[in-house]
Amino acid sequence: MAADKKIGAYICKGCGLGERLDCNQLEKIAKTEGKVALAKQHDFLCSQAGVEMIKADISEGVTHVMIGACSRRAKTEAFNFTGVAIARANLREGVIWVRPDTDDARETTQEMANDYIRMSCAEIKFMTQPETSGEQGLIKHILVVGGGITGMTSALEAAKAGYNVSIVEKQAQLGGAAGQLFKRIPVRAPYQHPADTGIAELATAIAASDKIKVYLNATVTRTSGAPGRFSADISQESGSTVTEQFGAIIQASGFKPYDMNQLTEFNPDNADVVDQLGLEALAKAANGAAIKRPSDGKAVQNVLFIQCAGQRSQKPGHLSYCSGHCCSTSIKQAMYFKQYNPDIQTTVLFTDLRTPGAGGENFYRSGQDQCVTFLKGIAESVTPGKTGPKVKFDNLLLNETVEQEFDLVVLATGMVPNSGPNPYLEQELALAKEKKETEKVVVLEQELVFEKSKASILNLDYRQGTDMPQLVHGFTDSHFICFPYETRRTGIYTAGPVRRPMDIGQAMDDATGAALKAIQAIENSALGRAAHPRSGDLSYPKFRKEGCTQCKRCTVECPFGAINEDEQRYPQFNEARCRRCGTCMGACPVRVISFDNYSVDSVGQAIKAVDIPDEFSEKPRILVLACENDAYPALDMAAMNRSEYSAFVRVIPVRCLGSVNTIWLTDALNSGYDGAVLLGCQKGDNYQCHFVKGSEMAHYRMSKIGDTLTQLNLETERVETHEVAITDIQRIPEIINNMAKTIEKIGMSPFKF
């Protein structure tokens, strides 16, 4: 321990700890085994007197504080001491609340508490108080890419908050898809009639704002930098390019309508078969008068709306998802006809009618009141008829097939996100080839050809690709369960239909949220603070260059594009992009990456500090590495419910399962641990991992741990990895107890000594 470190250990006797545990013994262990400079007990450590006691010691030179009390998730405000490193030993939720209060259990309960004191004392020795990197910047200027209703709303909201905004729009005017509409779905009571789009008002407000600059006929041709200090080249149709500095970026690039020409069964070449945007054009031309069909200019008297045309379908080339707005849009468009002439026959052919939003049901009822016909059925084909398109459809109410001619057929074709090329598709293809997944390789190769043909939206200067990562169906990245606006590119937020299907009202709400997140990113990055979920964390990755083998695992596995490479091909960390998950630390085979307050050593020494009984004591030791985002809170809540689990378990919270370095498991097993359980978040398409890919990376690494166990002549059952959710309050204690039963069955580790 360095001479300038002075560790103070503080043991709480409140919340029943003093009655259940021998706190004098805990203090003695901290002094004799933990080698702390001073150790003290207090009846209620989180009380004002307890906190003042710690503060007084800090003023007298204590640099590192070890608190033996409740969970690190509790009393965070009371134990928030600036300028010192802090470690927490969980004696309440982690010990006394999960063990029975009986004489038989007293010995093993005390042993648990003793070990947690040892572990936290060992951990704190290898921690330092994080300091900012000095790379911070504060540029109160937001780049909004896309001038549709989402981008316009984001810009206005940011400007109202006092931030400068530049809008980059590739078209010659603002408005996007909403600007092509005649009317919009209403968002205010009584939700009965189509409303004005509001585009003109937004454009006027933007023109009047001295904080908003608009680039029309323009694209972003290069984006570099990081949150708080982005640099973007904006190129205009005239050939000129300007470079501006931004603190954060909002991508609001919108959507494209699904190509109706792919629906050959609906005769898209027929002039009187249009998609929903096509009908909007006809309605704008009519401007409240009779809507005329394209083929001969005849006023439409009988129109059919075919819902889910090419969507909610598993057919090749179709959209498998619902685009959300289409049913309400068809009702709105049917009203265009009814409001001109109530006698015009308007029929909406649907399988399931969905009208989301607060006023959705009222708007549907208003359609009924205006005598819009809603017919449950499935369209089979559209062919030329004598007077107009002839539609063959199955009437699901009468269970019969019907053929009927209409003046006009409108296809509700759905939304396709206007994303750039998927930057991770090549990695997915390489992994599929490695796993010899032949069918998947063929599909991915076809997708890759299509992706490379797409124009870039942001032209990011990132090692990981030019554009935002994508979820399924090509929608841009979004942590849709935990943090819906966050992406894997820190400080860059997506909003509107490029993020998920939505109508105008939802897009405007989305735009407001993205603007607030962009502002938060600017202010946090100026202070060197991490973004979610470790908001406020000042630590960032550091590495020993002399030990680096340039294997590139950290650069490849980082979920957030926070690591580039310098001219000598060494990793180059960008702290403002970093989320502090530690995935790079877990990936590094030579263990040269660490954080000031979280490292291979801080966790590794905690693992080694546990007292390992000999094989004759019949007291196994099981290591549990629990993700601090879902698994550890679930353990705390299980403790609040007084759910019991094995006294032989020692739990260490980790930032993310992706930060787990396999050396921890190797050292634990070599040290005499009998088993290990890793608890992380759900991975895959429906991931709940707060760091997106961390859990997935950990599972991939752990899939190879069997080789290590075999080399050590240990049973593969001794190490398990589980996906858990924060709601698995009953399941997690079962997982732990089942591992204890497994160890009882297969026997103690042969490495005990």
For residue 533, cis peptide bond before it (omega within 30 degrees of 0)? yes
User: For 368-382, what is each residue's pLDDT tens digit?
Assistant: 999 999 999 999 999
In one-letter notation, the amino acid at residue 643 is S
> Is pLDDT of 745 > 80?
yes
What percent of the chain clears pLDDT 70, i.e. is strictly above it?
99
**Sequence spans of domains, the chain:** 1-129, 141-254+457-526, 265-417, 542-581, 612-753
User: For 572-627, what is each residue's pLDDT tens digit?
Assistant: 888 889 999 999 999 999 999 999 999 999 999 999 999 999 888 889 999 999 99
User: For 409-424, what is each residue's pLDDT tens digit?
Assistant: 999 999 999 999 998 8
What confidence category does residue 1 fall into, taking pLDDT thresholds of 50, 70 and 90?
very low
What confidence category does residue 753 fall into, taking pLDDT thresholds of 50, 70 and 90?
low
pLDDT at 3: 52
pLDDT at 55: 97
Tokens of 575: 């702290």
What confidence category does residue 664 fall into, taking pLDDT thresholds of 50, 70 and 90?
very high
- Nearest to 733, CA basis, from 669, 606, 641: 641
User: For 269-302, what is each residue's pLDDT tens digit?
Assistant: 999 999 999 999 999 999 999 999 999 999 999 9
Give the architecture (CATH level 2) of 141-254+457-526.
3-Layer(bba) Sandwich (3.50)
pLDDT at 285: 96
Strands of 649-654's sheet in order across = 649-654, 622-627, 675-680, 719-723
- Kindly report the CATH number that applies to the domain delimited by 542-581: 3.30.70.20
Count of beta carbons in the 10 Å neighbourhood of residue 665: 23
User: For 204-239, what is each residue's pLDDT tens digit?
Assistant: 999 999 999 999 999 999 999 999 999 999 999 989
pLDDT at 314: 93
For the chain, the average pLDDT equals 94
Q: State the helix-helix crossing angle for 103-125 and 600-609, rounded to 10 degrees.
A: 150
What is the mean predicted confidence (pLDDT) over 683-699? Answer: 87
pLDDT at 358: 86
* Fold match between domain 1-129 and domain 542-581: no
> Is pLDDT of 482 > 80?
no
Q: State the helix-helix crossing angle for 149-160 and 504-526, rounded to 10 degrees.
A: 40
- Nearest to 355, CA basis, from 328, 320, 395: 328
- Nearest to 319, CA basis, from 381, 273, 260, 396: 260
What is the mean predicted confidence (pLDDT) over 121-144? Answer: 91
User: For 330-368, what is each residue's pLDDT tens digit?
Assistant: 999 999 999 999 999 999 999 999 999 889 999 999 999
**Alpha-carbon torsion 64, 67, 72, 74, what sign?**
negative
Domain 265-417 has CATH 3.50.50.60: yes
Whole-model pTM: value is 0.90
Question: Whole-angstrom Cα distance, residue 703 to residue 434?
Answer: 15
Distance of CA 203 to CAs 112, 153, 173, Å?
65, 10, 9
> Is pLDDT of 739 > 90?
yes
- Nearest to 30, CA basis, from 155, 130, 124, 158: 124
Highest mean pLDDT among 113-117, 428-432, 502-506, 587-591: 113-117
Count of beta carbons in the 10 Å neighbourhood of residue 77: 7
> Is pLDDT of 547 > 60?
yes
Q: Which residues pair with 572 in a beta bridge?
A: 564
Element (H, E) at 65: strand 64-69
What confidence category does residue 434 fall into, taking pLDDT thresholds of 50, 70 and 90?
confident
Q: Quickly list DSSP for 398-461.
A: TTEEEEEE-SEEEE---EEE-----TTHHHHHHHHHHTT-HHHHHHHHHHHHHHHTSPPSS-B-
What confidence category does residue 2 fall into, taking pLDDT thresholds of 50, 70 and 90?
very low
pLDDT at 554: 92
The secondary structure of residue 8, as a DSSP letter, is E
Give the architecture (CATH level 2) of 1-129.
3-Layer(aba) Sandwich (3.40)
What confidence category does residue 162 fall into, taking pLDDT thresholds of 50, 70 and 90?
very high
More confident residue, 133 or 413: 413
User: For 385-413, what is each residue's pLDDT tens digit?
Assistant: 999 999 999 999 999 999 999 999 999 99
Question: Whole-angstrom Cα distance, residue 111 to residue 95?
Answer: 10
CATH class of the domain at 612-753: alpha beta
In one-letter notation, the amino acid at residue 65 is V
What is the mean predicted confidence (pLDDT) over 691-712? Answer: 87
The secondary structure of residue 300, as a DSSP letter, is P
pLDDT at 671: 92
